[in-house]
Structure 1
Amino acid sequence: MAVVVYHADRAPHLRTSSRELLIVPLLCGLIMMLLTFSLVERESGNDVDWIAKCKVAGRAVCGLLFLGLLTWQRCRPSLHFATARSCWLILFIGWAVVSTMWSPLRTISLGQSGSLAILLLMSLAIAMLWKDERDTSFILSFVSLSLLFICAMLLVLRIAVPASGSLQRVGEGLLHATNGAATASLGILILLVARLKWRWLWARLLFVPGLCVYAAVLVFAANRTSLALTFLLSAGLVFVATNRKIWSSGLMLLCGVFVLYLTVDPGLRLVGSGGEGVEEFLMRGQSLDQLRELSGRNELWTTVWSSFLESPWIGHGYFMTSSTGEIEVWYREGNFPAHNIWLQALATTGVIGALLFVIGLLTTYGKTNWTLWRASATRPMALLMTTVGCWYLGWSLTSDSILGPVQPETVVFFTLLGIGLGSEFQLRRLAGAKGRS
């Protein structure tokens, strides 16, 4: 279906409906999510096998679709606004591409920086096509269904086909437990905000089954960071988004249950036995010394920091944490990511790239979120961006996050960034129209 879009400064011309076109970046986002899977028998570090070729081909097709869509709709003011707002991120990606020149593994640096550029193109496409809150509902419902599908598939394979390597912590598998936990954690937060603040029908329908699937994935993944972030941010959402009387009543009820429990088990024997089980689950068979070393991350961070000092200004090339493409850690050699987004930015792109990255985040995600908080109509979206932003801040302390390989959580970040940029543009446009009237 086509609609006529009128512009004050040019003749009317036929355009396809924005809501129909939104399916293009969303389907591409789903494809990129699905292309993060691997296989058990795949050799670690193999970058030229058929799986890698499928990933490259799939992302290349998505990138071409985004470029075609943005070129076709290049006259939209919303695209100009989103591009101008993202200029620092564009500069960072440009610097990442340039860093390929001094990268020891140029193919990997070029491929990973290209993937980051494709994700930003997806954000620009969503921002360009976003019109109103109905689009937010459509996009978030699609994202929620995608995350739920991925988590349900991982859960079924983990139970029915353990040999698939689904949600395993050791070796190659369908999807590592860390990434599965991140996917489930973000799914819970998006579903909570959609249910508590917007109260859409699809959120009500997905709420119970979604929480059950996501919670099961978190249990099987046993990732401490995602469990802590999910609990803290979910509790904060419930406190902010629900009626204070309901919250107070819930606390009083909890206190009453605790008092009743003390009368039945004054020695807290059941709590003691249950606490041992919880401790065993959270320790994951590790010793206290291993836990203090953050599961070996201290050794990795020390090595990567030393590598950063060898080329502090320009780094070693995007996605490269050493001048040779390999570092020795945990008695192994390989191109290990830093498992900390800020250290990853410094080691791979140097101080120059890290500054561009930080400024880019502040001027896009940060400034857009601040603007959305100032209008009552966009505060639910601002709450979602704030909640997810806090999640990414916590997650990035022990993860490469959006500077690592493309994962479902990476696609979610740039999808929400696109919604935020589109929302801000429409907010400013309506404010300008009111001011002229």
Structure 2
Amino acid sequence: MAVHSKHPAAAPPAPPVREKTGHLMLRGWCIFVMLMSLSGTAWVHAFGELTAAVITIAGGILSVILWFVIRPPVHWPRLPWFVVAYVAWATLSLIWSAWPQTTALTLLLLWITTIQALFIGSVLTWRELVRAAASALKWVIALSILFELWVSVFVQAPVLPGFVVGTADDPIEYWSRNNLFDWGARIQGIMGNANLLGPVALLAIIVFAIRIAARAPRRALLWAWIAVSAYLFYRASSATAYVAAAGVLVVLATVLLMRRARRPGERTRYYLGYAVVGIGGLAALFFFRTTIFSALGRDSDLTGRETIWEKVLERASERPWIGWGYATPWAPWDPAFDGWIIDHGQTVLQAHNMWVDIRMQLGIVGVVLLGLLYLAFVWRSWFFAVDRPRWDLRDDRPYSSLTLLPTLVGAIVLVQGLAESSPLLLWGWLFVVMLGSKIKQSPHVGEGPAEQSAAIERGEPEKQEP
């Protein structure tokens, strides 16, 4: 029988490092939180507003409890202070709000989403965060396909919220329109809205591609997930998502070019080219919007959005500096919004532009705070992606594909925010706050107190710097 030498040349064999059960459960909880934000209104459609509210509030309370129990290392001076300022101003608007009940209710959603974002960013490493996002997106993509398949194969009729089979006054009311096998029609997934499904499918393609570039296991399956996500992206046929995809490609190409720069000043010409493409693209989108949106099957006014913007800005002009009070989304039962703006026979629940929406809700002060928040996020995420990781004299460390995620998410939400208010809540807000705070707390993948403490919790030995 083989025996170990009394003077071995290497360490005796040991089983592979396994994650502790507690950390596995923690990551599972983070996946569920992301799933809740990514699936959007699916919880309301499936279980009703009361059940969805109870799940959301209970989830926020549980994350706060876990935060106090785990006590992850947090560098408090490096909190995302523009996020704090924006949330504080939104909270102060409760004092002068013209719709205090709606403000209080939507503030609760804002606070819970913000806390959840900060919580996930503090307890997961960069690698775990991207892995958790991929897992949550797999659930959303799979459930969207299965839901549409169930409707088309077994129900064979449009479905209303609450799994009710019936006839609606307008197709906009349907949770699923039974369009899966109608190739020329749009599908809506579990969100019940093609304009919400499109950006999520685009995000899924990005996250799965980053996982492949990071040499994650089972890459063949990731390619399959990309194919399914691309199918949903195409079938959602969201003009906003198409423009966002173009923005993502421009940002990705520029980042990869920036990483190739070797000499001082070489990036300047790339920045100039990026500015020309960006400004030219926006100008073309504005001056040729009739042709572009007609090609995408949309009206030149983005399906009535310009009319909505005019009415919202008209109300905003009455309280230009502090606004009317926070309300994201607008509550349809509030007299201030019930019947105010009607589209397809339904009360509109957002301004379909996050800047116009905040202009009405929180005034010019709120727009400035939101602008500073996104400027800080874009600035940090950009250099997080284009700069080589460096914290000492070494300047030859390899780039990580994981650093691409924040800047590409920024491209999606900023483009989406021009035609939707959804970046102000749900996954748009969660990912911006989560990734922005993560960059500030852990500016290098795998390095720093937050990254190392989570690795130790998984059962890995503490990393030693060579």
Q: Same fold per TM (> 0.5)?
A: yes
Determine the structure 1 residue equivalent to 2:101.
107
Amino acid at match of 1:77: P
Determine the structure 2 residue equivalent to 1:147.
140
> Is the 1:129–1:422 Cα contact (8 Å) retained in structure 2?
no
Mapped partners of 2:337, 2:229: distance in 1: 36
- TM-aligned CA distance change 1:135 to 1:390, over 3 Å: same
Determine the structure 1 residue equivalent to 2:159.
164
Mapped partners of 2:150, 2:432: distance in 1: 26
Q: Does 1:424 align with 2:443?
A: yes
Q: Does 1:385 align with 2:406?
A: yes
Mapped partners of 2:404, 2:229: distance in 1: 21
Task: State the identity as a percent.
Answer: 18
Q: Does 1:118 align with 2:120?
A: no
Q: Does 1:189 align with 2:219?
A: no
Which range moved further: 121-130 or 151-160? 151-160
Determine the structure 2 residue equivalent to 1:78.
74
Give 1:351 shift.
1.4
Which range moved further: 359-368 or 121-130? 359-368
Q: Which ranges of structure 1 fall in alignment gaps of 5 or more residues?
A: 1-14, 43-49, 243-278
Superposed CA offset, 1:192-246 (max 9, x none): 2222x312124x133332233222222332212212333553586479769xxxx
Q: Which ranges of structure 2 fall in alignment gaps of 5 or more residues?
A: 1-19, 162-169, 176-189, 258-291, 390-397, 452-464
Q: Tell me which of 229, 232, 236 is aligned to 2:244.
A: 229
Mapped partners of 2:437, 2:24: distance in 1: 14
Determine the structure 1 residue equivalent to 2:288.
none
Q: Does 1:304 align with 2:312?
A: yes
Mapped partners of 1:169, 1:392: distance in 2: 27
Give 1:318 shift.
1.1
> Is the 1:169–1:176 Cα contact (8 Å) retained in structure 2?
no
Q: Tell me which of 78, 81, 91 is aligned to 1:97.
A: 91
Tell me the C-alpha RMSD between the 2 structures: 3.9
Mapped partners of 2:399, 2:296: distance in 1: 41
Determine the structure 2 residue equivalent to 1:47.
none
Determine the structure 2 residue equivalent to 1:214.
229
Mapped partners of 1:280, 1:355: distance in 2: 30
Determine the structure 2 residue equivalent to 1:205.
220
Give 1:300 shift.
0.8
Determine the structure 2 residue equivalent to 1:324.
336
* Residues 406-421 of structure 1: pairs in structure 2 closer than 5 A: 406=426, 408-417=427-436, 419-421=438-440
Mapped partners of 1:28, 1:111: distance in 2: 19
Mapped partners of 2:344, 2:209: distance in 1: 42
Superposed CA offset, 1:231-270 (max 9, x none): 553586479769xxxxxxxxxxxxxxxxxxxxxxxxxxxx
Amino acid at match of 1:215: A
Mapped partners of 1:364, 1:235: distance in 2: 18
> Is the 2:93–2:326 Cα contact (8 Å) retained in structure 1?
yes
Amino acid at match of 2:232: V
Give 1:78 shift.
2.6
* Residues 268-279 of structure 1: pairs in structure 2 closer than 5 A: none
Mapped partners of 1:154, 1:88: distance in 2: 39
- TM-aligned CA distance change 1:107 to 1:29, over 3 Å: farther
Give 1:308 shift.
0.8
> Is the 1:104–1:317 Cα contact (8 Å) retained in structure 2?
yes
Q: Does 1:395 align with 2:395?
A: no
Give 1:301 shift.
0.8
Secondary structure class of the residue paired with 2:90: helix
Give 1:73 shift.
3.7
Give 1:335 shift.
5.3
Amino acid at match of 2:336: T
> Is the 2:130–2:402 Cα contact (8 Å) retained in structure 1?
no
> Is the 1:341–1:397 Cα contact (8 Å) retained in structure 2?
yes
> Is the 1:372–1:382 Cα contact (8 Å) retained in structure 2?
yes
- TM-aligned CA distance change 1:223 to 1:139, over 3 Å: same
Mapped partners of 1:18, 1:344: distance in 2: 39
> Is the 1:104–1:323 Cα contact (8 Å) retained in structure 2?
no
- TM-aligned CA distance change 1:302 to 1:332, over 3 Å: farther
> Is the 2:107–2:326 Cα contact (8 Å) retained in structure 1?
yes
- TM-aligned CA distance change 1:353 to 1:169, over 3 Å: farther
Mapped partners of 1:38, 1:155: distance in 2: 16
> Is the 1:126–1:418 Cα contact (8 Å) retained in structure 2?
no
Amino acid at match of 1:315: G
* Residues 327-406 of structure 1: pairs in structure 2 closer than 5 A: 327-330=340-343, 334=347, 336-364=349-377, 366-371=379-384, 373-376=386-389, 379-404=400-425, 406=426
Give 1:342 shift.
1.0
Determine the structure 2 residue equivalent to 1:23.
28
Superposed CA offset, 1:81-114 (max 9, x none): 5xx4222212211222222333343333222222
Q: Does 1:59 align with 2:56?
A: yes
Give 1:319 shift.
1.8
> Is the 1:315–1:349 Cα contact (8 Å) retained in structure 2?
yes
- TM-aligned CA distance change 1:324 to 1:371, over 3 Å: same
- TM-aligned CA distance change 1:30 to 1:379, over 3 Å: same
Amino acid at match of 1:216: Y
TM-score (norm: length of structure 1): 0.70
Mapped partners of 2:112, 2:306: distance in 1: 32
Superposed CA offset, 1:282-325 (max 9, x none): 554x6xxxx22221111111111111101111111112779933
> Is the 2:74–2:122 Cα contact (8 Å) retained in structure 1?
yes
